[in-house]
Structure 1
Amino acid sequence: MSAKDPEGAAACEVWFYHLERTGLDQALPELLEKTLQRGWKAIVRSSAPERIEHLDGWLWSYRDESFLPHAPADEPGAARQPILLTTGVENANAADALFLVDGAEPGELAAFKRCVVLFDGNDDDQLRNARAQWSAVKARGLPVSYWKQQARGWEKQA
Protein backbone atom coordinates (compact mmCIF):
# COMPACT_ATOMS: atom_id res chain seq x y z
CA MET A 1 0.00 0.00 0.00
CA SER A 2 1.46 3.37 -0.95
CA ALA A 3 1.47 6.44 1.24
CA LYS A 4 -1.13 9.11 0.54
CA ASP A 5 -0.97 12.85 0.88
CA PRO A 6 -3.69 14.69 2.88
CA GLU A 7 -5.90 14.94 -0.23
CA GLY A 8 -5.71 11.18 -0.80
CA ALA A 9 -3.37 11.22 -3.81
CA ALA A 10 -0.36 8.92 -3.82
CA ALA A 11 2.56 10.66 -2.13
CA CYS A 12 5.79 11.27 -4.02
CA GLU A 13 8.29 8.46 -3.45
CA VAL A 14 11.77 9.77 -2.67
CA TRP A 15 14.66 7.53 -3.66
CA PHE A 16 18.23 8.27 -2.59
CA TYR A 17 20.94 6.94 -4.92
CA HIS A 18 24.37 6.66 -3.30
CA LEU A 19 26.94 6.86 -6.12
CA GLU A 20 30.10 4.93 -5.26
CA ARG A 21 31.20 2.99 -8.34
CA THR A 22 30.30 5.42 -11.11
CA GLY A 23 29.82 9.13 -11.35
CA LEU A 24 26.74 11.14 -12.11
CA ASP A 25 27.56 11.21 -15.84
CA GLN A 26 27.20 7.42 -16.00
CA ALA A 27 24.28 6.92 -13.60
CA LEU A 28 21.94 9.76 -14.58
CA PRO A 29 21.40 8.84 -18.26
CA GLU A 30 20.48 5.26 -17.32
CA LEU A 31 17.92 6.47 -14.77
CA LEU A 32 16.51 9.02 -17.23
CA GLU A 33 16.14 6.32 -19.90
CA LYS A 34 14.13 4.19 -17.46
CA THR A 35 11.97 7.20 -16.62
CA LEU A 36 11.16 7.87 -20.28
CA GLN A 37 10.45 4.15 -20.85
CA ARG A 38 7.69 4.46 -18.22
CA GLY A 39 6.14 7.23 -20.28
CA TRP A 40 7.11 9.83 -17.68
CA LYS A 41 8.65 13.27 -18.12
CA ALA A 42 11.57 14.34 -15.94
CA ILE A 43 13.21 17.39 -14.47
CA VAL A 44 16.88 17.39 -13.53
CA ARG A 45 17.48 20.11 -10.95
CA SER A 46 20.95 21.22 -9.96
CA SER A 47 22.13 23.93 -7.62
CA ALA A 48 24.95 24.67 -10.10
CA PRO A 49 24.28 26.44 -13.44
CA GLU A 50 27.52 24.98 -14.83
CA ARG A 51 26.16 21.46 -14.22
CA ILE A 52 23.08 22.30 -16.32
CA GLU A 53 25.35 23.50 -19.12
CA HIS A 54 27.44 20.32 -18.90
CA LEU A 55 24.42 18.00 -18.87
CA ASP A 56 22.90 19.83 -21.83
CA GLY A 57 25.85 18.69 -23.96
CA TRP A 58 26.38 15.33 -22.26
CA LEU A 59 22.84 13.98 -22.70
CA TRP A 60 23.11 14.41 -26.47
CA SER A 61 26.36 12.49 -26.72
CA TYR A 62 26.77 10.14 -23.72
CA ARG A 63 26.30 7.09 -25.96
CA ASP A 64 26.90 6.78 -29.71
CA GLU A 65 23.67 4.89 -30.48
CA SER A 66 21.24 7.07 -28.53
CA PHE A 67 20.50 10.40 -26.92
CA LEU A 68 18.07 11.72 -24.37
CA PRO A 69 15.72 14.44 -25.68
CA HIS A 70 16.04 17.41 -23.35
CA ALA A 71 16.55 21.15 -23.04
CA PRO A 72 17.53 23.71 -20.43
CA ALA A 73 14.51 25.38 -18.83
CA ASP A 74 15.42 28.79 -20.26
CA GLU A 75 15.06 27.68 -23.90
CA PRO A 76 11.87 28.15 -25.94
CA GLY A 77 9.47 25.21 -25.80
CA ALA A 78 10.63 24.03 -22.38
CA ALA A 79 7.12 22.89 -21.47
CA ARG A 80 7.18 20.32 -24.30
CA GLN A 81 10.49 18.71 -23.33
CA PRO A 82 10.55 15.13 -22.02
CA ILE A 83 13.57 16.08 -19.85
CA LEU A 84 14.05 19.58 -18.54
CA LEU A 85 17.35 20.77 -17.02
CA THR A 86 17.04 23.55 -14.47
CA THR A 87 18.24 25.30 -11.34
CA GLY A 88 14.69 26.53 -10.70
CA VAL A 89 11.84 25.02 -8.72
CA GLU A 90 9.09 25.22 -11.35
CA ASN A 91 7.67 22.05 -12.89
CA ALA A 92 7.43 23.69 -16.32
CA ASN A 93 7.07 20.44 -18.30
CA ALA A 94 4.61 18.78 -15.88
CA ALA A 95 7.23 16.16 -15.04
CA ASP A 96 6.44 12.97 -13.16
CA ALA A 97 9.99 12.52 -11.87
CA LEU A 98 12.38 15.00 -10.27
CA PHE A 99 16.11 14.28 -10.20
CA LEU A 100 18.16 16.28 -7.69
CA VAL A 101 21.92 16.65 -8.16
CA ASP A 102 24.61 18.82 -6.57
CA GLY A 103 22.62 19.20 -3.37
CA ALA A 104 19.62 20.83 -5.06
CA GLU A 105 16.66 21.25 -2.72
CA PRO A 106 13.49 19.27 -3.43
CA GLY A 107 11.01 22.04 -2.65
CA GLU A 108 7.35 21.09 -3.05
CA LEU A 109 7.00 17.46 -4.20
CA ALA A 110 3.22 17.03 -4.48
CA ALA A 111 3.25 17.27 -8.30
CA PHE A 112 5.77 14.44 -8.70
CA LYS A 113 5.37 10.66 -8.55
CA ARG A 114 9.05 10.18 -7.74
CA CYS A 115 11.99 12.26 -6.60
CA VAL A 116 15.48 10.82 -7.06
CA VAL A 117 18.33 12.31 -5.03
CA LEU A 118 21.73 11.40 -6.51
CA PHE A 119 24.80 12.00 -4.37
CA ASP A 120 28.49 11.17 -4.56
CA GLY A 121 29.52 8.85 -1.74
CA ASN A 122 33.10 10.11 -1.98
CA ASP A 123 32.15 13.74 -1.29
CA ASP A 124 31.69 14.59 2.39
CA ASP A 125 29.56 17.67 1.64
CA GLN A 126 27.21 15.67 -0.58
CA LEU A 127 26.94 12.92 2.05
CA ARG A 128 26.05 15.46 4.77
CA ASN A 129 23.51 17.13 2.49
CA ALA A 130 21.92 13.79 1.54
CA ARG A 131 21.59 12.83 5.21
CA ALA A 132 19.91 16.15 5.98
CA GLN A 133 17.56 15.72 3.01
CA TRP A 134 16.76 12.15 4.12
CA SER A 135 15.79 13.41 7.59
CA ALA A 136 13.68 16.24 6.14
CA VAL A 137 11.83 13.91 3.75
CA LYS A 138 11.16 11.39 6.53
CA ALA A 139 9.85 14.22 8.74
CA ARG A 140 7.41 15.15 5.96
CA GLY A 141 6.06 11.59 6.07
CA LEU A 142 6.93 10.76 2.46
CA PRO A 143 7.85 7.21 1.43
CA VAL A 144 11.64 7.06 1.19
CA SER A 145 14.16 4.43 0.09
CA TYR A 146 17.92 4.21 -0.14
CA TRP A 147 19.73 2.59 -3.07
CA LYS A 148 23.42 1.76 -2.94
CA GLN A 149 25.63 1.03 -5.91
CA GLN A 150 26.98 -2.53 -5.79
CA ALA A 151 29.21 -4.45 -8.20
CA ARG A 152 26.11 -6.05 -9.79
CA GLY A 153 24.04 -2.87 -9.94
CA TRP A 154 21.74 -0.92 -7.66
CA GLU A 155 20.55 -2.59 -4.49
CA LYS A 156 17.82 -1.29 -2.21
CA GLN A 157 19.20 -0.94 1.31
CA ALA A 158 16.34 0.77 3.14
Structure 2
Amino acid sequence: MQLDFWQYSQGPVERIVVLIAERAIKDGQRVLVVDGDAERRAATIRALWEASPEAFLANGESGDPHAERQPILLSDTCTSANGARFAILADGKWREGGEAFDRTILLFGQNEVAEARKVWRQFDGREDVTRAYFAQEDGKWVKKV
Protein backbone atom coordinates (compact mmCIF):
# COMPACT_ATOMS: atom_id res chain seq x y z
CA MET A 1 0.00 0.00 0.00
CA GLN A 2 1.11 3.55 -0.77
CA LEU A 3 0.33 5.85 2.18
CA ASP A 4 0.78 9.54 1.47
CA PHE A 5 0.65 12.32 4.03
CA TRP A 6 -0.33 15.67 2.51
CA GLN A 7 -0.03 18.64 4.86
CA TYR A 8 -1.85 21.67 3.52
CA SER A 9 -1.38 25.26 4.61
CA GLN A 10 -3.77 26.84 2.12
CA GLY A 11 -7.30 25.59 1.61
CA PRO A 12 -10.02 25.09 1.15
CA VAL A 13 -9.81 21.33 1.58
CA GLU A 14 -12.44 20.67 -1.07
CA ARG A 15 -10.28 22.34 -3.74
CA ILE A 16 -7.33 20.15 -2.76
CA VAL A 17 -9.57 17.07 -3.00
CA VAL A 18 -10.57 18.16 -6.52
CA LEU A 19 -6.90 18.43 -7.52
CA ILE A 20 -6.10 14.94 -6.21
CA ALA A 21 -9.29 13.32 -7.54
CA GLU A 22 -8.83 14.82 -10.99
CA ARG A 23 -5.35 13.27 -11.28
CA ALA A 24 -6.56 9.91 -10.00
CA ILE A 25 -9.46 9.83 -12.48
CA LYS A 26 -7.07 10.69 -15.34
CA ASP A 27 -5.02 7.67 -14.23
CA GLY A 28 -8.10 5.45 -14.50
CA GLN A 29 -8.72 5.17 -10.76
CA ARG A 30 -11.97 5.21 -8.85
CA VAL A 31 -11.77 7.36 -5.73
CA LEU A 32 -13.29 7.27 -2.26
CA VAL A 33 -13.25 10.59 -0.39
CA VAL A 34 -13.76 10.13 3.34
CA ASP A 35 -14.79 13.07 5.51
CA GLY A 36 -16.72 13.02 8.77
CA ASP A 37 -17.98 16.58 8.27
CA ALA A 38 -21.27 16.52 6.30
CA GLU A 39 -21.04 20.21 5.38
CA ARG A 40 -17.53 19.82 3.98
CA ARG A 41 -18.64 16.71 2.05
CA ALA A 42 -21.41 18.82 0.50
CA ALA A 43 -18.88 21.56 -0.35
CA THR A 44 -16.60 18.93 -1.90
CA ILE A 45 -19.45 17.60 -4.02
CA ARG A 46 -20.12 21.13 -5.32
CA ALA A 47 -16.40 21.69 -5.97
CA LEU A 48 -16.13 18.42 -7.91
CA TRP A 49 -19.13 19.28 -10.12
CA GLU A 50 -17.85 22.83 -10.72
CA ALA A 51 -14.14 21.94 -11.13
CA SER A 52 -13.64 22.81 -14.81
CA PRO A 53 -15.40 22.19 -18.12
CA GLU A 54 -12.63 19.89 -19.37
CA ALA A 55 -12.59 17.77 -16.20
CA PHE A 56 -15.92 16.04 -15.68
CA LEU A 57 -15.68 14.75 -12.13
CA ALA A 58 -18.90 12.81 -11.66
CA ASN A 59 -19.51 11.86 -8.05
CA GLY A 60 -22.06 10.77 -5.50
CA GLU A 61 -22.45 9.92 -1.85
CA SER A 62 -22.33 6.57 -0.15
CA GLY A 63 -25.88 5.32 0.20
CA ASP A 64 -27.06 6.84 -3.10
CA PRO A 65 -28.97 4.38 -5.30
CA HIS A 66 -26.19 4.35 -7.91
CA ALA A 67 -23.19 4.70 -5.59
CA GLU A 68 -21.42 1.69 -7.11
CA ARG A 69 -21.34 3.41 -10.54
CA GLN A 70 -19.76 6.65 -9.32
CA PRO A 71 -16.09 7.21 -10.21
CA ILE A 72 -15.77 9.43 -7.11
CA LEU A 73 -17.69 8.50 -4.00
CA LEU A 74 -17.94 10.53 -0.79
CA SER A 75 -18.55 8.92 2.57
CA ASP A 76 -17.92 9.25 6.28
CA THR A 77 -16.43 5.73 6.42
CA CYS A 78 -13.77 3.75 4.54
CA THR A 79 -16.38 1.56 2.91
CA SER A 80 -15.97 1.67 -0.86
CA ALA A 81 -19.26 0.90 -2.58
CA ASN A 82 -17.76 2.01 -5.92
CA GLY A 83 -14.81 -0.41 -5.78
CA ALA A 84 -12.26 2.38 -5.33
CA ARG A 85 -8.65 1.37 -4.66
CA PHE A 86 -7.67 5.02 -4.04
CA ALA A 87 -8.83 6.83 -0.90
CA ILE A 88 -8.51 10.41 0.31
CA LEU A 89 -9.03 10.93 4.04
CA ALA A 90 -10.00 14.57 3.66
CA ASP A 91 -10.65 15.41 7.30
CA GLY A 92 -7.19 14.41 8.55
CA LYS A 93 -8.48 11.44 10.55
CA TRP A 94 -7.15 7.91 10.13
CA ARG A 95 -9.89 5.29 10.13
CA GLU A 96 -10.18 1.56 10.30
CA GLY A 97 -10.18 0.36 6.72
CA GLY A 98 -7.68 2.95 5.49
CA GLU A 99 -5.18 0.17 4.84
CA ALA A 100 -7.54 -1.65 2.49
CA PHE A 101 -6.70 0.58 -0.47
CA ASP A 102 -3.79 0.46 -2.90
CA ARG A 103 -3.19 4.13 -2.17
CA THR A 104 -4.47 6.26 0.69
CA ILE A 105 -3.83 9.97 1.12
CA LEU A 106 -4.16 11.46 4.59
CA LEU A 107 -4.87 15.14 4.00
CA PHE A 108 -4.27 17.24 7.10
CA GLY A 109 -3.74 20.80 8.27
CA GLN A 110 -1.72 22.35 11.06
CA ASN A 111 -4.31 21.33 13.68
CA GLU A 112 -3.94 17.64 12.77
CA VAL A 113 -0.11 17.41 12.70
CA ALA A 114 0.18 15.51 15.99
CA GLU A 115 -2.40 12.94 14.88
CA ALA A 116 -0.72 12.54 11.47
CA ARG A 117 2.61 11.87 13.21
CA LYS A 118 0.97 9.11 15.28
CA VAL A 119 -0.36 7.52 12.10
CA TRP A 120 3.09 7.79 10.46
CA ARG A 121 4.67 5.98 13.44
CA GLN A 122 1.91 3.37 13.41
CA PHE A 123 3.31 2.17 10.07
CA ASP A 124 7.00 2.17 11.08
CA GLY A 125 8.74 -1.00 9.96
CA ARG A 126 5.90 -2.19 7.73
CA GLU A 127 7.44 -3.61 4.56
CA ASP A 128 4.02 -3.77 2.90
CA VAL A 129 3.56 0.03 3.23
CA THR A 130 5.39 2.75 1.33
CA ARG A 131 5.05 6.18 2.92
CA ALA A 132 5.59 9.65 1.53
CA TYR A 133 5.14 13.11 3.01
CA PHE A 134 4.24 16.23 1.03
CA ALA A 135 3.81 19.77 2.32
CA GLN A 136 2.26 22.76 0.65
CA GLU A 137 4.78 25.58 0.21
CA ASP A 138 3.93 28.80 -1.61
CA GLY A 139 0.94 27.09 -3.21
CA LYS A 140 2.97 24.12 -4.51
CA TRP A 141 3.25 20.57 -3.22
CA VAL A 142 6.77 19.63 -2.20
CA LYS A 143 7.89 16.10 -1.31
CA LYS A 144 9.78 16.07 1.97
CA VAL A 145 12.43 13.54 2.96
TM-score by length of 1: 0.80
Aligned counterpart for 1:108 among listed residues 91, 97, 101: 97
Equivalent of 1:151, from 127, 138, 144? 138
Task: Answer with 105-114 or 70-79: which moved more.
Answer: 105-114
Residues 26-65 of structure 1 correspond to what in structure 2 (within 5 A)?
A: 26-63=15-52
Residue 155 of structure 1: how far off its partner (Å) = 1.4
1:17 aligns with 2:6: yes
Answer whether contact 1:47 1:103 (CA < 8 A) is retained.
Answer: no
Partner of 2:113: 127
What residue in structure 1 maps to residue 123 of structure 2?
Answer: 137
Given that 1:102 and 1:119 are in contact with CA atoms closer than 8 Å, whether structure 2 keeps it comes out as yes
Structure 1 gaps, min length 5: 1-11
In 2, the alpha carbon distance for the partners of 1:150 and 1:103 equals 18
Q: Which runs of 5+ in 2 are unaligned?
A: none
1:103, 1:130 within 8 Å by CA — same for their partners in 2?
yes
Structure with higher Rg: it is: 1
Could you say what the CA RMSD is over the residues aligned between the two structures, in angstroms? 2.0
Amino acid at match of 1:97: F
CA distance, structure 1, for counterparts of residue 125 and residue 95 of structure 2 = 14
Q: 61, 72, 77: which is aligned to 1:72?
A: 61
Identity over the aligned pairs, expressed in percent?
A: 26
Which whole-Å CA distance do the structure 1 matches of 2:140 and 2:19 have between them? 12
Q: Within 2, Cα distance between the matches of 1:36 and 1:81?
A: 11
Corresponding letter in the other structure for 2:47? W
Instruction: Give the alignment's TM-score, normalised by structure 2.
Output: 0.86
- CA–CA separation in structure 2 for the residues paired with 1:106 and 1:81: 22
Amino acid corresponding to residue 137 of structure 1 in structure 2: F
Q: How many residues align?
A: 144
